[in-house]
């Protein structure tokens, strides 16, 4: 009886040790799979040095392009050539976008620009003359979600002609990122798009924020 009990306990401990080793191995593999990799491109714009850092990772909260400079850190979360947020520094979005586009054009001329599929959730409306899209960005850090309101020419929807930012995702446009238009001119259109999105269950209201529903 005593020997049998000892063997049982001993085997049980072995199973626990094996399970623990397997658990560590699994976690290690998961970590390896999700470990981000980065590539860099340095350039000079108006006498200042900048670099574009492209981070690749299975975790979409980490994967992004970054514009890094002496006085700015800005992110293109979905790698669609549009700066989505200035994370550090006092540079505004349009200026960061201009510098980012300058660097990207150099990469394009050197045939080093690679297109990637975006994974950011969006809600789209098809119009007679224009297509409208609302994107919700959920940064991986402590930043709150924010929206982009994009307008595309019906004849060429490869790139938006007008972009606004709703910084707090509260349904109010805060600033223009692309196109020389005031937020007041397009607030009604944005509000109408939000109403349709909520009605079609494509947008959701959470804690006073209007967000694209995650699929």
**pLDDT value, residue 34:** 56
Predicted local confidence at residue 9, as pLDDT:
39
Q: What's the Cα-to-Cα distance from 129 to each of 20, 38, 132, 152, 201, rounded to whole Å?
A: 61, 40, 10, 9, 24
**pTM of this structure:** 0.68
In this structure, are residues 54 and 39 in contact, taking their beta carbons and an 8 Å threshold? yes
Alpha helices, DSSP H only, in 35-150?
93-109
Q: What is the pLDDT of residue 32?
A: 45
Asked whether 109 and 126 are in contact (CB, 8 A), the reply is: no
In the prediction, which pLDDT does 142 show? 55
End-to-end CA distance of the chain: 57
Q: Which two tokens stand for residue 54?
A: 């492209």
Task: Look at residues 181, 171, 155 and name the one whose alpha carbon lies nearest to residue 204.
Answer: 171
Instruction: Specify the pLDDT at position 17.
Output: 36
DSSP per position, 44-73: EETTEEEEEEEEE-SSTTT-EEEEEETTEE
Q: How far apart are CA 189 and CA 67, in angstroms?
A: 31
DSSP 156: B
User: What are the two backbone dihedrals, phi and then psi, of residue 37, each rounded to the nearest 5 degrees?
Assistant: -125, 155
Q: Beta strand 72-76 with 85-88: parallel, antiparallel or unpaired?
A: antiparallel
What is residue 150's predicted lDDT score, i.e. its pLDDT? 95
- What residues in the chain have per-residue pLDDT under 50? 1-33
Q: Which is it for strands 162-166 and 85-88: parallel, antiparallel or unpaired?
A: unpaired
CB within 8 Å of 208: residues ≥ 6 apart: 170
Strand order in the sheet with 37-45: 37-45, 48-56, 64-69, 72-76, 85-88
- Rounded to an integer, what distance in angstroms lies between the CA atom of residue 138 and that of residue 136? 7
- The pLDDT assigned to 95 comes to 92
């Amino acid at each position: 009886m005593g020997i049998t009990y000892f063997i049982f306990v001993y085997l049980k401990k072995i199973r626990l040790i094996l399970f623990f080793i397997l658990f560590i191995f699994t976690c290690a593999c998961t970590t390896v799979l999700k470990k981000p990799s980065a590539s860099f491109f340095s350039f000079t714009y108006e006498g200042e040095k900048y670099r574009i850092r492209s981070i690749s990772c299975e975790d979409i909260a980490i994967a992004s392009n970054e514009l890094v400079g002496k006085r700015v850190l800005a992110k293109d979360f979905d790698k669609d050539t549009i700066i989505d947020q200035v994370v550090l520094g006092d540079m505004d979005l349009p200026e960061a976008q201009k510098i980012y586009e300058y660097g990207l054009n150099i990469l394009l001329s050197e045939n080093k620009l690679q297109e990637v599929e975006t994974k950011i959730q969006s809600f789209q409306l098809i119009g007679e003359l224009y297509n409208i899209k609302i994107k919700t960005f959920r940064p991986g850090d402590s930043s709150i979600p924010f929206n982009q309101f994009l307008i595309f020419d019906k004849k060429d929807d490869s790139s938006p002609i007008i972009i606004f930012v709703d910084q707090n995702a509260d349904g109010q446009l805060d600033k223009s990122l692309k196109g020389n238009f005031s937020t007041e001119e397009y607030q009604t259109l944005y509000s109408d798009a939000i109403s349709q999105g909520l009605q079609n269950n494509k947008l959701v209201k959470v804690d006073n924020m209007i967000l694209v529903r995650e699929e």
